[in-house]
Structure 1
Amino acid sequence: METGLPADETQVRLQGKGSAMAVSWVLGVGALASRNSIFTIGDYYYKLFPDYHPDRVLTLVYQTLALSAMILFTYKESKINTRRRNMSGYILFFLTTLALVLLDLITSGKGGTRNYIVICVFVAAFGVADAHVQGGMVGDLSLMCPEFVQSFFGGMAASGALTSALRLITKAAFEKSDSGLRKGAIMFLAISTLLELVCIYLYAYVFPNLPVVKYYRTKAALEGSKTVSSDLVAAGIQTNASEQDVLKPRESLCKKELLFQNIDYAVEIFLIFLLSLSIFPGFLYENTGKHHWGSWYPLVLIAVFNLWDLIGRYIPLKNSIKMESRKGLLLATLSRFLLVPAFHFTGKYGNPGLMLFLVLFLGLSNGYLTVCVMTVAPRGYKGPEQNALGNLLVLCLLGGIFAGVSLDWLWLLD
């Protein structure tokens, strides 16, 4: 089979583009489905483990392992088999989510320190899977086209919105029945388990065989990328290009130099998630003041955040309102920190209407700025550099989340 790029590049790049965007969206949903299920059923875990701050502890456990694994992956990124990395991540998500279902069934939904520790171990495994999938997929999609990255991040936000909507439905359906919270939690985890199985199939058999994906991966291979070789083999493409055929990336652009060239994007993605995760979800469960909404209040707030995070990630599809200015992105990112005193006083005085508005804006700005940064940053680089930059930005993203969930504990001193 011919290994060079096709003569009519434009035509090939359009073949299967819509399908690739759809698959990227589903893979994005699967990248966070398990994690979102855990945090969306937080009310169930608060009932089982009322003295252990489940949302705060589980979030911290998750992000500690995700960040640690991502540091290793980023360092070794250019030598890692991307196909094996992503497949391992989705398989780990599937097995661990299934294990959580079995744990609940075996223990009959009982609390206790031992069961809590086991849940923490499973959530730690989610963090490792996250580092596999999120960094691997973003790096892979970054060497293709911005629409794929946007679709993947849109799917990640949709995962949160869908789990929140299902949580509200299951809470209403099971609220008056015995073990209603438990039934809803098991349903959530079962749905996530099936979704991860779908993602395994899509990534293994559908995505690598789409013409547009073959095109970009072949292009990346000719530019010197070694991470796509297994994906090309899976698609039936043998890359036998000689040394002189390979368009190697500029040797001066090592990871350190890539980071320095894009330090503003790295800082922005770090600060975006630091702020968001210092408020969501721990603050929304424990620091929203006195109100009359009962146990529905945190679920509604989380649903509002997830919905507007999803909407924010689709706004940049319209180029006229997509922010591409580096100074503009930095200013917008820094201005979000005005939300900290706003949430403090709103939580202190318990104003539900204002709290809903603040959560809405937090989610909207989180989604919008994330997609702007992640789609603009890789422009102008060759495939291997785009993959490396995608991994670096995901590392900063996870670092911001880790810092955010750590700072979230400071709200308990309020």
Structure 2
Amino acid sequence: MATPHANVPPANLEGKYIAILVCWLLGNGCLFSWNSMLTIGDYYSYLFPLDLATSGKGGLGTFIGICVISGAFGVADAHVQGGMVGDLSFMRPEFIQSFLAGLAASGALTSALRLITKAAFENTKDGLRKGALLFFAISTFFEFLCVLLYAFAFPKLPIVKYYRSKAASEGSKTVSADLAADIGVLQAEEDPKQLERLSTKELLLLNIDYALDMFLIFVLTLSIFPGFLSEDTGSHSLGQGL
């Protein structure tokens, strides 16, 4: 139940800049695990050489298991991103912008972290494995930190409380309530079909152009990284003295 002052904006929008920072961190967290799986390619190459089917070091079963886990990471990432965008859409535009900026920065941060962890153990015995384990440990810690931020810190910010209570008071708790808030209860009573929830197929057909755009964007992106960049194209150099 909304409080009497639920629709009154908080004075000076308390917590706005903290919320923007948290959204940026959450954007990083959404792609951090996925990017971690991709940027560890050198360690995968060491574990699973090209003769995997016959005498690969890692074993075929382990390789298939990692592929399944990688796919699960992708599915989880899609759900998390969709949920975050839906949640932040009820709030200020700056929150969405910060979240998307965090997504963009995630690739650079994971790449830098991988370089640091790899360089730290470069001259030690079994250094590649140690660097990879440290990299995964830091990535896992950051993921748990993001979960705690979203579950406990983010909801307690006054500006977040305000927008969530405002969204709830306007009917965002259910799909039917959302539609009723948009088209009006009287109109809905005259035509009950307008409150019917669309199926996944119907939603896809209504937004097929956006879905196709997203599909092509990800096909192009993943074809370049890690697709093309992971290929072994031989040894190259810039010549003598470079």
Question: If the length of structure 1 is used for normalisation, what is the TM-score?
Answer: 0.47
Unaligned runs of 5+ in 1: 54-109, 228-242, 294-414
Q: How far does residue 21 in structure 1 lie from its aligned partner after superposition?
A: 1.0
Contact 1:6 1:12 in 2 (8 A): no
Aligned to 1:271: 216
- String of CA shifts for 1:24-60, please: whole Å, max 9, x gaps: 111111112122111111110011102289xxxxxxx
1:285-340 alpha-carbon deviations (Å, 9 max, x no partner)? 216565228xxxxxxxxxxxxxxxxxxxxxxxxxxxxxxxxxxxxxxxxxxxxxxx
Is residue 2 of structure 1 aligned with residue 27 of structure 2? Answer: no
Residue of structure 2 in register with 1:283 after alignment = 228
| Distance in 2, Cα, partners of 1:3 & 1:133 | 33
- C-alpha displacement of 1:279: 1.4
- Show the counterpart of 2:89: 142
Q: In the alignment, does 2:125 pair up with 1:178?
A: yes
Contact in 2 for aligned 1:40/1:167 (Cα 8 Å): yes
Tell me the alpha carbon deviations over residues 68-94 of structure 1, each in whole angstroms, 9 at most, x when there is no partner: xxxxxxxxxxxxxxxxxxxxxxxxxxx
| Contact 1:223–1:247 under 8 Å retained in 2 | no
1:124-180 residue CA offsets vs partner (Å, 9 max, x unmatched): 332342233111111111222222112112222222111101222233332232212
Q: CA offsets, 1:252-306, max 9 Å, x none? A: 796647974x66544433332222122111201216565228xxxxxxxxxxxxx
Alpha carbons 1:224, 1:249 under 8 Å: kept: no
State the one-letter code of the partner of 2:182.
Answer: P
Q: Tell me how far apart the structure 1 counterparts of residues 82 and 217 of structure 2 sit (CA, whole Å).
A: 17
Q: How has the CA–CA distance of structure 1 residues 212 and 13 changed in structure 2, closer, same or farther, with 3 Å as cutoff?
A: farther
| Distance in 2 of aligned mates of 1:155 and 1:34 | 13
**Rounded Cα–Cα distance in structure 2 between residues aligned with 1:187 and 1:148:** 31
Calculate percent identity across the aligned residue pairs: 60
Other-structure match for 2:39: 40
Q: TM-score, normalised by structure 2?
A: 0.76
RMSD after superposition: 3.1
* Equivalent pair of 1:25/1:152 in contact (CA under 8 Å): yes
Larger Rg: 2
Shift of the 123–273 alpha-carbon distance from structure 1 to 2, 3 Å rule, reads closer
Q: 1:224 aligns with which of 148, 156, 171?
A: 171
Instruction: Give 1:154's aligned residue.
Output: 101
Q: Rate the CA distance shift 1:159–1:257 in 2: closer, same or farther, 3 A.
A: closer
Change (3 A) 1:199 1:225: same
CA contact (8 A) 1:34 1:126 kept: yes
Aligned equivalents of 2:68, 2:229: Cα separation in 1: 24
